[in-house]
Amino acid sequence: MNNIMLNSENLNHVLENKMISYEDAVQVFHDAKTNPSELFFTAQNLRKKFKGSTVTFSKKAFFNIINMCKDTCSYCTYKSEPEEKKLSLMSKQDIKQMLILAKKYRCVEALFVTGERPEQRYQEAKDWLKKNGFKSTPEYLTHASEWALEEGLFPHTNAGNLSWSELKELQKTNVSMGLMLENSSERLSHKGMPHYLAPSKRPKARLEVLENSGKLKIPMTTGILIGIGETPQEVIESIFAIKKLHERYGNIQEVILQNFQPKEDTKMKGFPSTEETYFKIIVALSRIIMPEMNIQIPPNLSPKSYQDFLSVGINDWGGISPLTPDYVNPEFSWPEIKQIDENSKKGGFDLKCRFPIYPKFFSFISKELRDKMAGIKDEEGFVKEEYWR
């Protein structure tokens, strides 16, 4: 691959530090459908230029706080109805016990995940909150984040569309937060499409939250879900929407590219999994559109081939837990960290454990939070190797 001579003027321009336009990115996509090797070569070189030979991950515990949700997405099995066995309602004691266990496993990240404002739809959610002494899910998350810091873990909250005041409050205790854009196309919210019954997934609402996070200078993880019925142009538009936000505010610390996998008991169970070459082309395109961005794919969703994505531009594996399952994709277990390490080495990369916030973004958070990380942080800003291994 290293001997490839580029014939594409657009790709040559990218390697010369020139930004690629939307129109040019669409052309590169169409060219890559026939022969993706030039695109992959360019993405690999850009990743090497800006990220070196390091690939990172976050050692986490997944806290499935409450999985009732006021929205219904056509592909989601995370959401639970009150009567279902998979219902999760973590009490204060449940959370505190899990934090203690996570610390014993030397997890670094406490990933707090909830459904979208379940108390607005379910009386059971209101009762659960009241029983624990809270009026809203975000209020509960604020206290859970404080408990995590007390145990020496670092919170990263994914709770859907939070208001300005909620973001500002959680910013005090969360070193980073997350909100998947999924796609910037309004079409995917039309009748018969995957987000029709999920008003919180409408692009305008998601982009407003991401913009508010930028104004508040919150290190933010966002991303795109690929293979849910979008067009390639809509994916590329979504990548540029994220790029535009980052250019304006500088707070997008990471972009997740997640490949769709069909699930039983959903409306989209008959949809095919995201085709791998298409997925790789989108990953590589993301690298050439945002050359310096931290880009990850979830390794558990490509269990037989995740290591191959090292050659198309990624530099991160996301959160991996030695303790808890992926409650959003429970049928896909995380690979063992040891296996990730071995496969990274085979690809010529050094695996490093990061905090839920990347070193480049430490200046965004309070001195108090930075001081709490100091005890297990190495000189580069990653987690000390002797701590996480």
Secondary structure (DSSP) of 266-333: STTTTSPPPPHHHHHHHHHHHHHHSTTS-EE--GGGSTTTGGGGGGGT--EEEEE-SSS--SSSTTSP
Element (H, E) at 34: helix 22-34
The domain in which residue 215 lies consists of: 19-388
Query: In the structure encoding, which two tokens stand for residue 283, read together?
Result: 């990953």
The residue type of 35 is N
Residues shown for the chain:
389
Query: In the structure encoding, which two tokens stand for residue 272, read together?
Result: 């095919």
Compute how many other C-beta atoms are within 10 angstroms of the C-beta atom of residue 163. 11
pLDDT over 90 for what percent of the chain? Answer: 95
- Mean pLDDT, residues 254-282: 96
Spatial separation of the C-alpha atoms in residues 63 and 113, rounded to whole Å: 6
Lowest mean pLDDT among 9-18, 57-66, 99-108, 244-253: 9-18
Q: Give the count of alpha carbons within 13 A of 357, CB side only.
A: 30
Spatial separation of the C-alpha atoms in residues 300 and 332, rounded to whole Å: 6
pLDDT tens string 108-148: 999 999 999 999 999 999 999 999 999 999 999 999 999 99
Query: What pLDDT score was predicted for residue 179?
Result: 98
Question: Is the distance from CB of 295 to CB of 314 less than 8 angstroms?
Answer: yes
pLDDT over 70 for what percent of the chain? Answer: 98
Spatial separation of the C-alpha atoms in residues 134 and 127, rounded to whole Å: 10
Q: Which residues pair with 352 in a beta bridge?
A: 56
Question: Is the distance from CB of 55 to CB of 316 less than 8 angstroms?
Answer: yes
DSSP string, 220-258: EEEEEEESSS--HHHHHHHHHHHHHHHHHH--EEEEEEE
Element (H, E) at 149: helix 137-151
Spatial separation of the C-alpha atoms in residues 321 and 107, rounded to whole Å: 8
Spatial separation of the C-alpha atoms in residues 385 and 207, rounded to whole Å: 37
pLDDT tens string 26-78: 999 999 999 999 999 999 999 999 999 999 999 999 999 999 999 999 999 99
pLDDT tens string 362-374: 999 999 999 999 9
Question: Which phi and psi angles does 10 have, rounded to 5°?
Answer: -60, -45
Residue 10 lies in a domain: no
Query: What pLDDT score was predicted for residue 1?
Result: 45
- Mean pLDDT of the chain, nearest integer: 96
Residue 98 lies in a domain: yes
Spatial separation of the C-alpha atoms in residues 328 and 278, rounded to whole Å: 23
Residue 13 lies in a domain: no
Integer angstrom CA distances of residue 108 from 46, 319, 340: 29, 10, 17
Lowest mean pLDDT among 6-15, 121-130, 228-237, 268-277: 6-15
CATH code for position 113: 3.20.20.70
Residue 342 lies in a domain: yes
Residue 250 lies in a domain: yes
Which residues does 131 contact at the CB level (< 8 Å), separation at least 6?
91
pLDDT tens string 291-324: 999 999 999 999 999 999 999 999 999 999 999 9
Q: How confident is the model at residue 9 (pLDDT cuts 50, 70, 90)?
A: confident
Spatial separation of the C-alpha atoms in residues 200 and 212, rounded to whole Å: 15
End-to-end CA distance of the chain: 33
Q: How confident is the model at residue 7 (pLDDT cuts 50, 70, 90)?
A: low
Question: Is the distance from CB of 234 to CB of 22 less than 8 angstroms?
Answer: no
Alpha-carbon torsion (110, 344, 307, 29), positive or negative: positive
> Is 5's pLDDT higher than 80?
no
Q: Which residues pair with 200 in a beta bridge?
A: none
> Is 4's pLDDT higher than 80?
no
> Is 3's pLDDT higher than 70?
no
pLDDT tens string 283-292: 999 999 999 9
Compute how many other C-beta atoms are within 10 angstroms of the C-beta atom of residue 374. 7
Query: Which has the closest alpha carbon to 285: 39, 119, 112, 44?
Result: 39
Residue 12 lies in a domain: no
pLDDT tens string 211-238: 999 999 999 999 999 999 999 999 999 9
Query: In the structure encoding, which two tokens stand for residue 19, read together?
Result: 């930004």
> Is 163's pLDDT higher than 50?
yes
The residue type of 233 is Q
Query: In the structure encoding, which two tokens stand for residue 255, read together?
Result: 């972009």
Residue 267 lies in a domain: yes
Residue 80 lies in a domain: yes
User: pTM of the prediction?
Assistant: 0.95
Total domains, the chain: 1
